[in-house]
Amino acid sequence: MFTHLLPGFISRLSVALIGFAVLVISAKYLGVSSRGEISLFLFNIALLQIITEVFTGYHLVHFMTKYNASKMYRYGVLFLLVSSLIGNTVLLLAGKHIEGFFWQAYLITFLVTLNTFQCVMILGLGKLKMYYGLSLLQPAILLCFLLCYVFFSYDLTFKAYVYPLLFSFVLATGISFFLLWPQLNSNSDLKPFNAMSIIKNGIAAQLALMMFVLGNKYSFYLLKPGAELGLYAAGISIAESVLIMVSAMLPIYLSKIATNQKTADTKALTVKFGISAIVFCSIGIAFLGLLPEAVYLKLLGAGFNGIKMVILFYSPAVLFTALYLILSNYFTGRGQAKIVVRSNLLGFMLTLILAPWLVSHYHLKGAAVCSGVIFVVNTFFLTYFFLKRKPTSEST
């Protein structure tokens, strides 16, 4: 199993290392308050990306061999332009935007979603190596621009991250478009696409993802903007870094269960992957917990005092997330995404009830504990239905 994970693991490890370098540089030179603004800014973009991917997400790969890619692309770009504008306007009216950065947020949202859309189309057209290369491109460009801005600019504020982020997506989107353009007419003989069939297919998956993200990170809207949010976001980012091996497992696991119709075999495979995920994450969490806080402060700066506490309190959420990801992909791969939607809906409803009280009384600890409780509930919900599913294979 693990030899098949190596290419995906290397790709994800490279992205993770670049992401960690971006986190360290932005934290050390821009400070904990700017990290709070950056975290809220990126969280808003992530929510809007989930919405836009109802049409342009990874489920689109399923339709690439059926529909005309050129027409699909034109409609997709129009959809992203409109939905990005509407989504950012709603966030502005709700008071969740970083003040004075509406147009930058709109442009970056559009570019993020467009670049992802183009990469998904490249993947759907079978250009796997090109896809892996593009997945590394934007983080690498962001790191280069951030280093230039930090060492050649005297304005070490939120702007020092936003503009490198904008420039990195301008370049990455341009390059992905240049690589995609010759491929768009490669399946021009296929029938024009049915937009509603794509949207209907994407709604269930994106709804589940939206509730998953909000259930985990709704506390971003409850913590104090600036230093408190910056400390919390940095802590959970470091804790979640141990999930890299799980993310490398998922494509292999999903492909295996999607092509195997024997319930007994897929359940045995799920147990195997689930145990492996928990073991890898336990080792990673133990390593992070053994590091003295002085190491984190040396990397990130004195303003991040207390970050080890966030990592430790968030650790149960990470461990249960590892098993949750395996189980949710089990049901998705078996065509039972509705069970995952119900699980995430339950978690999201609990978040709306628990998060305001826990965060108001226990602040950072309360936010971390709330995420842990949500993932415990979600995981046990999926485990119940997983165990309830009766084997159909005679080998049982």
Q: Specify the pLDDT at position 394.
A: 37
Are 88 and 30 in contact by the 8 Å Cβ rule? The answer is no
CA distance 396 to 393: 6
Domain boundaries, the chain: 1-193, 224-396
What pLDDT is stored for residue 396 in this prediction? 37
C-alpha distances out from residue 155 to 56, 148, 158, 160, 298, Å: 36, 12, 9, 7, 23
What's residue 393's pLDDT?
A: 43
pLDDT (tens digit, 9 = 90+) per residue, 33-55?
Answer: 888 888 889 889 988 888 888 77
Task: Name the phi and psi angles at 191, rounded to 5.
Answer: -70, 150
Give the residue ranges of the chain where pLDDT is below 70.
1-9, 11, 58-67, 126, 128, 185-198, 200-202, 204, 250-252, 254-265, 332-335, 389-396
Pick from 273, 220, 223, 213: which is nearest to 245 by CA? Answer: 273
Q: Which residues contact 278 (CB under 8 A, 6 or more apart)?
A: 319, 322, 323
